[in-house]
Structure 1
Amino acid sequence: MRKNLNLLLEWIVVILLIVMLLSVLWGVLTRYIYDDQSTWTDELARFMLIWVSILGAAYVSGKNAHIAIDLLPATFSKKKKFLLDIMTSIIITVFVFVTFLVGGLRYIYISFKLGQTSAALEIPMGYVYLVLPVAGALIIYFKILAILDARKALKLID
Protein backbone atom coordinates (compact mmCIF):
# COMPACT_ATOMS: atom_id res chain seq x y z
CA MET A 1 0.00 0.00 0.00
CA ARG A 2 2.81 2.41 0.93
CA LYS A 3 4.57 1.79 -2.39
CA ASN A 4 1.40 2.36 -4.44
CA LEU A 5 0.54 5.51 -2.50
CA ASN A 6 4.05 6.86 -3.03
CA LEU A 7 3.82 6.08 -6.75
CA LEU A 8 0.48 7.90 -6.94
CA LEU A 9 1.91 10.88 -5.06
CA GLU A 10 4.92 10.90 -7.35
CA TRP A 11 2.72 11.09 -10.43
CA ILE A 12 0.49 13.77 -8.92
CA VAL A 13 3.53 15.91 -8.10
CA VAL A 14 4.93 15.39 -11.61
CA ILE A 15 1.61 16.39 -13.21
CA LEU A 16 1.36 19.47 -10.99
CA LEU A 17 4.92 20.41 -11.94
CA ILE A 18 4.06 20.07 -15.63
CA VAL A 19 0.98 22.28 -15.17
CA MET A 20 3.11 24.82 -13.31
CA LEU A 21 5.77 24.75 -16.05
CA LEU A 22 3.20 25.20 -18.82
CA SER A 23 1.56 28.03 -16.91
CA VAL A 24 4.85 29.88 -16.50
CA LEU A 25 5.79 29.26 -20.15
CA TRP A 26 2.43 30.58 -21.32
CA GLY A 27 2.86 33.66 -19.14
CA VAL A 28 6.33 34.33 -20.56
CA LEU A 29 5.16 33.76 -24.14
CA THR A 30 2.19 36.08 -23.80
CA ARG A 31 4.38 38.74 -22.16
CA TYR A 32 7.05 38.75 -24.86
CA ILE A 33 5.07 37.82 -27.97
CA TYR A 34 1.80 39.67 -27.34
CA ASP A 35 3.16 42.36 -24.97
CA ASP A 36 0.34 41.54 -22.56
CA GLN A 37 0.80 38.78 -20.02
CA SER A 38 -2.12 36.51 -19.24
CA THR A 39 -3.61 37.46 -15.89
CA TRP A 40 -4.12 33.93 -14.62
CA THR A 41 -0.70 32.35 -15.25
CA ASP A 42 1.09 33.78 -12.20
CA GLU A 43 -1.69 32.75 -9.87
CA LEU A 44 -1.97 29.24 -11.26
CA ALA A 45 1.80 28.76 -11.04
CA ARG A 46 1.73 30.00 -7.43
CA PHE A 47 -1.05 27.57 -6.50
CA MET A 48 0.74 24.70 -8.23
CA LEU A 49 3.92 25.55 -6.31
CA ILE A 50 1.99 25.38 -3.04
CA TRP A 51 0.54 21.99 -3.93
CA VAL A 52 3.83 20.62 -5.27
CA SER A 53 5.82 21.63 -2.22
CA ILE A 54 3.32 20.38 0.36
CA LEU A 55 2.49 17.14 -1.47
CA GLY A 56 6.22 16.78 -2.09
CA ALA A 57 6.74 16.86 1.67
CA ALA A 58 4.19 14.04 2.03
CA TYR A 59 5.95 12.09 -0.73
CA VAL A 60 9.35 12.51 0.94
CA SER A 61 7.82 11.48 4.25
CA GLY A 62 6.54 8.29 2.64
CA LYS A 63 9.97 7.54 1.21
CA ASN A 64 11.56 8.44 4.56
CA ALA A 65 14.02 10.55 2.58
CA HIS A 66 13.71 13.88 4.38
CA ILE A 67 16.73 15.84 5.45
CA ALA A 68 18.15 14.56 8.71
CA ILE A 69 21.14 15.28 10.89
CA ASP A 70 22.38 11.88 11.95
CA LEU A 71 25.36 12.74 14.14
CA LEU A 72 23.61 11.75 17.36
CA PRO A 73 21.92 8.56 16.07
CA ALA A 74 25.22 7.38 14.60
CA THR A 75 26.54 6.98 18.15
CA PHE A 76 23.47 5.01 19.33
CA SER A 77 22.93 1.27 19.48
CA LYS A 78 20.33 -0.21 17.13
CA LYS A 79 17.76 -0.35 19.90
CA LYS A 80 18.24 3.33 20.76
CA LYS A 81 18.08 4.26 17.07
CA PHE A 82 14.69 2.58 16.70
CA LEU A 83 13.46 4.23 19.91
CA LEU A 84 14.62 7.59 18.56
CA ASP A 85 12.83 6.85 15.27
CA ILE A 86 9.63 6.10 17.16
CA MET A 87 9.92 9.26 19.27
CA THR A 88 10.67 11.41 16.20
CA SER A 89 7.74 9.93 14.28
CA ILE A 90 5.39 10.57 17.22
CA ILE A 91 6.53 14.20 17.48
CA ILE A 92 6.09 14.71 13.72
CA THR A 93 2.66 13.05 13.84
CA VAL A 94 1.45 15.32 16.63
CA PHE A 95 2.83 18.41 14.91
CA VAL A 96 1.30 17.50 11.56
CA PHE A 97 -2.03 16.64 13.18
CA VAL A 98 -2.24 20.01 14.91
CA THR A 99 -0.92 22.18 12.05
CA PHE A 100 -2.00 20.40 8.87
CA LEU A 101 -5.18 18.63 9.90
CA VAL A 102 -6.70 20.80 12.62
CA GLY A 103 -5.24 24.09 11.37
CA GLY A 104 -5.76 23.25 7.71
CA LEU A 105 -9.39 22.21 8.17
CA ARG A 106 -10.05 25.36 10.19
CA TYR A 107 -8.38 27.46 7.51
CA ILE A 108 -10.51 25.84 4.80
CA TYR A 109 -13.69 26.34 6.83
CA ILE A 110 -12.96 30.03 7.43
CA SER A 111 -12.03 30.53 3.78
CA PHE A 112 -15.29 29.03 2.52
CA LYS A 113 -17.31 30.78 5.26
CA LEU A 114 -15.90 34.17 4.24
CA GLY A 115 -16.28 33.40 0.54
CA GLN A 116 -12.62 34.13 -0.15
CA THR A 117 -11.73 33.70 -3.83
CA SER A 118 -8.52 34.13 -5.77
CA ALA A 119 -8.05 37.36 -7.68
CA ALA A 120 -7.37 36.13 -11.21
CA LEU A 121 -8.84 32.63 -11.37
CA GLU A 122 -11.75 33.47 -9.04
CA ILE A 123 -11.74 30.00 -7.48
CA PRO A 124 -12.56 29.54 -3.80
CA MET A 125 -9.31 29.67 -1.83
CA GLY A 126 -10.51 26.73 0.24
CA TYR A 127 -9.61 24.49 -2.69
CA VAL A 128 -6.05 25.81 -2.63
CA TYR A 129 -5.82 25.24 1.13
CA LEU A 130 -7.25 21.73 0.77
CA VAL A 131 -3.72 20.46 0.26
CA LEU A 132 -2.98 20.95 3.97
CA PRO A 133 -5.31 18.28 5.41
CA VAL A 134 -4.72 15.96 2.43
CA ALA A 135 -0.94 16.07 2.85
CA GLY A 136 -1.33 15.99 6.63
CA ALA A 137 -3.35 12.79 6.49
CA LEU A 138 -0.76 11.24 4.17
CA ILE A 139 2.15 12.24 6.39
CA ILE A 140 0.39 10.89 9.48
CA TYR A 141 -0.32 7.62 7.65
CA PHE A 142 3.35 7.30 6.65
CA LYS A 143 4.56 8.15 10.16
CA ILE A 144 2.23 5.57 11.73
CA LEU A 145 3.68 2.99 9.34
CA ALA A 146 7.19 4.11 10.34
CA ILE A 147 6.30 3.69 14.03
CA LEU A 148 4.93 0.20 13.38
CA ASP A 149 8.04 -0.73 11.37
CA ALA A 150 10.35 0.52 14.14
CA ARG A 151 8.35 -1.38 16.79
CA LYS A 152 8.60 -4.54 14.71
CA ALA A 153 12.36 -4.04 14.34
CA LEU A 154 12.65 -3.47 18.11
CA LYS A 155 10.91 -6.79 18.80
CA LEU A 156 13.38 -8.54 16.51
CA ILE A 157 16.32 -7.04 18.43
CA ASP A 158 15.02 -8.03 21.87
Structure 2
Amino acid sequence: MTTARRWLDNTLRTICVALFGLLVALVAWQVFTRLVLSQPSAWTEEAAKFTFVWVMLIGIAIAVGEKADVVMDFLVEKLPKSLQRIADIIAYLSTLAFVVFAMVIGGTELSMLAWEQKNALLPLTQGQLYLAMPVSGVLLTVYLLIHLANAMSSRYEGHLGDVDEDLEAAAL
Protein backbone atom coordinates (compact mmCIF):
# COMPACT_ATOMS: atom_id res chain seq x y z
CA MET A 1 0.00 0.00 0.00
CA THR A 2 2.78 2.44 0.85
CA THR A 3 4.47 1.88 -2.53
CA ALA A 4 1.25 2.71 -4.39
CA ARG A 5 0.67 5.71 -2.11
CA ARG A 6 4.22 6.97 -2.67
CA TRP A 7 3.81 6.52 -6.43
CA LEU A 8 0.51 8.46 -6.38
CA ASP A 9 2.02 11.26 -4.27
CA ASN A 10 5.06 11.61 -6.54
CA THR A 11 2.98 11.42 -9.72
CA LEU A 12 0.58 14.11 -8.52
CA ARG A 13 3.43 16.37 -7.43
CA THR A 14 5.09 15.96 -10.84
CA ILE A 15 1.83 16.72 -12.66
CA CYS A 16 1.19 19.74 -10.44
CA VAL A 17 4.71 21.13 -11.02
CA ALA A 18 4.41 20.57 -14.78
CA LEU A 19 1.01 22.28 -14.87
CA PHE A 20 2.33 25.17 -12.79
CA GLY A 21 5.26 25.55 -15.21
CA LEU A 22 2.76 25.57 -18.08
CA LEU A 23 0.69 28.19 -16.24
CA VAL A 24 3.74 30.44 -15.81
CA ALA A 25 4.61 30.05 -19.50
CA LEU A 26 1.04 30.84 -20.59
CA VAL A 27 0.85 33.96 -18.43
CA ALA A 28 4.31 35.11 -19.55
CA TRP A 29 3.30 34.66 -23.21
CA GLN A 30 0.06 36.55 -22.57
CA VAL A 31 1.97 39.45 -20.99
CA PHE A 32 4.54 39.46 -23.81
CA THR A 33 1.94 39.48 -26.58
CA ARG A 34 -0.13 42.14 -24.81
CA LEU A 35 2.63 44.55 -23.78
CA VAL A 36 5.39 43.99 -26.33
CA LEU A 37 3.52 42.97 -29.47
CA SER A 38 0.34 44.96 -28.66
CA GLN A 39 -1.67 41.99 -29.97
CA PRO A 40 -2.88 39.92 -27.02
CA SER A 41 -3.12 36.20 -27.58
CA ALA A 42 -6.74 35.30 -26.88
CA TRP A 43 -6.27 31.58 -26.31
CA THR A 44 -3.60 31.94 -23.61
CA GLU A 45 -5.95 33.63 -21.16
CA GLU A 46 -8.48 30.83 -21.53
CA ALA A 47 -5.79 28.15 -21.28
CA ALA A 48 -4.30 29.82 -18.20
CA LYS A 49 -7.69 29.86 -16.45
CA PHE A 50 -8.26 26.15 -16.97
CA THR A 51 -4.65 25.29 -16.14
CA PHE A 52 -5.01 27.23 -12.88
CA VAL A 53 -8.16 25.27 -12.02
CA TRP A 54 -6.37 21.95 -12.65
CA VAL A 55 -3.33 23.04 -10.58
CA MET A 56 -5.57 24.18 -7.74
CA LEU A 57 -7.71 21.03 -7.63
CA ILE A 58 -4.76 18.64 -7.88
CA GLY A 59 -2.94 20.74 -5.28
CA ILE A 60 -5.90 20.36 -2.93
CA ALA A 61 -5.72 16.59 -3.35
CA ILE A 62 -1.98 16.66 -2.58
CA ALA A 63 -2.58 18.81 0.52
CA VAL A 64 -5.30 16.47 1.79
CA GLY A 65 -3.06 13.47 1.13
CA GLU A 66 -0.27 15.04 3.20
CA LYS A 67 -2.74 16.26 5.83
CA ALA A 68 -1.47 19.77 5.07
CA ASP A 69 -4.95 21.17 4.52
CA VAL A 70 -6.45 23.73 6.85
CA VAL A 71 -7.60 22.05 10.03
CA MET A 72 -8.82 23.60 13.23
CA ASP A 73 -8.14 20.79 15.64
CA PHE A 74 -7.25 22.68 18.81
CA LEU A 75 -10.41 21.31 20.44
CA VAL A 76 -9.91 17.79 19.11
CA GLU A 77 -6.35 17.74 20.51
CA LYS A 78 -7.79 18.21 24.01
CA LEU A 79 -10.05 15.14 23.71
CA PRO A 80 -9.01 11.65 24.80
CA LYS A 81 -7.61 9.48 22.02
CA SER A 82 -10.83 7.45 21.64
CA LEU A 83 -12.90 10.60 21.08
CA GLN A 84 -10.24 11.98 18.73
CA ARG A 85 -10.67 8.86 16.63
CA ILE A 86 -14.46 9.34 16.53
CA ALA A 87 -14.06 13.03 15.61
CA ASP A 88 -11.64 12.12 12.81
CA ILE A 89 -13.94 9.41 11.45
CA ILE A 90 -16.91 11.78 11.44
CA ALA A 91 -14.83 14.49 9.73
CA TYR A 92 -13.51 12.09 7.08
CA LEU A 93 -16.94 10.60 6.40
CA SER A 94 -18.64 14.00 6.07
CA THR A 95 -15.88 15.30 3.80
CA LEU A 96 -16.02 12.08 1.79
CA ALA A 97 -19.79 12.44 1.35
CA PHE A 98 -19.38 15.98 0.04
CA VAL A 99 -16.53 15.00 -2.29
CA VAL A 100 -18.38 12.01 -3.73
CA PHE A 101 -21.71 13.76 -4.25
CA ALA A 102 -20.53 17.24 -5.27
CA MET A 103 -17.23 16.61 -7.02
CA VAL A 104 -17.32 13.07 -8.36
CA ILE A 105 -21.02 12.66 -9.20
CA GLY A 106 -21.85 16.34 -9.79
CA GLY A 107 -18.60 17.00 -11.63
CA THR A 108 -19.11 13.97 -13.87
CA GLU A 109 -22.67 15.05 -14.68
CA LEU A 110 -21.48 18.60 -15.45
CA SER A 111 -18.68 17.29 -17.63
CA MET A 112 -20.99 14.97 -19.55
CA LEU A 113 -23.54 17.75 -20.09
CA ALA A 114 -20.84 19.94 -21.64
CA TRP A 115 -18.94 17.14 -23.42
CA GLU A 116 -20.01 18.18 -26.92
CA GLN A 117 -19.85 21.94 -26.27
CA LYS A 118 -16.95 23.38 -28.27
CA ASN A 119 -14.56 25.81 -26.66
CA ALA A 120 -14.17 28.83 -28.92
CA LEU A 121 -10.46 29.29 -28.20
CA LEU A 122 -9.04 25.88 -27.29
CA PRO A 123 -9.00 22.58 -29.18
CA LEU A 124 -10.87 20.88 -26.33
CA THR A 125 -14.53 20.68 -25.44
CA GLN A 126 -15.89 22.30 -22.29
CA GLY A 127 -16.65 18.83 -20.94
CA GLN A 128 -13.02 17.79 -21.27
CA LEU A 129 -11.93 20.94 -19.45
CA TYR A 130 -14.50 20.34 -16.70
CA LEU A 131 -13.01 16.88 -15.99
CA ALA A 132 -10.81 18.59 -13.41
CA MET A 133 -13.61 18.37 -10.85
CA PRO A 134 -14.39 14.64 -11.01
CA VAL A 135 -10.69 13.73 -11.41
CA SER A 136 -9.84 15.76 -8.32
CA GLY A 137 -12.85 14.26 -6.55
CA VAL A 138 -11.58 10.74 -7.22
CA LEU A 139 -8.10 11.69 -5.96
CA LEU A 140 -9.59 13.25 -2.83
CA THR A 141 -11.73 10.14 -2.32
CA VAL A 142 -8.64 7.92 -2.45
CA TYR A 143 -6.79 10.04 0.11
CA LEU A 144 -9.82 10.35 2.39
CA LEU A 145 -10.33 6.58 2.31
CA ILE A 146 -6.66 6.10 3.25
CA HIS A 147 -7.04 8.54 6.16
CA LEU A 148 -10.29 6.88 7.20
CA ALA A 149 -8.65 3.45 7.18
CA ASN A 150 -5.77 4.81 9.28
CA ALA A 151 -8.22 6.37 11.75
CA MET A 152 -9.99 3.01 12.13
CA SER A 153 -6.79 0.96 12.44
CA SER A 154 -4.95 -0.05 15.59
CA ARG A 155 -2.04 2.20 14.45
CA TYR A 156 -4.11 5.33 15.09
CA GLU A 157 -1.95 7.80 17.02
CA GLY A 158 -4.45 10.58 17.61
CA HIS A 159 -3.68 14.28 17.36
CA LEU A 160 -0.23 14.97 18.67
CA GLY A 161 -0.47 18.75 18.53
CA ASP A 162 2.03 20.94 16.77
CA VAL A 163 5.31 19.06 17.15
CA ASP A 164 7.35 22.01 15.81
CA GLU A 165 5.97 24.36 18.48
CA ASP A 166 6.64 21.76 21.19
CA LEU A 167 10.25 21.38 20.03
CA GLU A 168 10.76 25.14 19.94
CA ALA A 169 9.32 25.52 23.44
CA ALA A 170 11.60 22.75 24.73
CA ALA A 171 14.64 24.43 23.15
CA LEU A 172 13.96 27.68 25.01
The structure, 1 or 2, with the larger RCO (C-alpha pairs under 8 Å, 6+ apart) is: 1
Partner of 1:9: 12
Residue 120 of structure 1: SS of its match in structure 2?
Answer: coil
In structure 2, distance between residues paired with 1:142 and 1:49: 22
Deviation at 1:127, TM superposition (A): 1.1
In structure 2, distance between residues paired with 1:3 and 1:155: 20
The 5-angstrom pairing of residues 1-150 of structure 1 reads 1-112=4-115, 115-150=116-151
Deviation at 1:153, TM superposition (A): 3.4
Letter of the 1:3 partner, please give it. R
Partner of 2:166: none
- Any stretches of 5+ residues in structure 2 without a counterpart? 159-172
Identity %: 28
- Any stretches of 5+ residues in structure 1 without a counterpart? none
What does the per-residue CA deviation read over 1:81-107, in whole Å, with 9 as the maximum and x for residues that have no partner? 121111111111111000011101100
Letter of the 1:60 partner, please give it. A
Root-mean-square deviation (Å): 1.7
**Alignment: residue pair count:** 155
Letter of the 2:34 partner, please give it. R
Deviation at 1:142, TM superposition (A): 0.8
Runs of 4+ in 1 over 4 A off after TM superposition: 154-157
TM, length-normalised to structure 2: 0.85
Contact 2:61–2:136, Cα closer than 8 Å, also in 1:
yes
TM, length-normalised to structure 1: 0.92
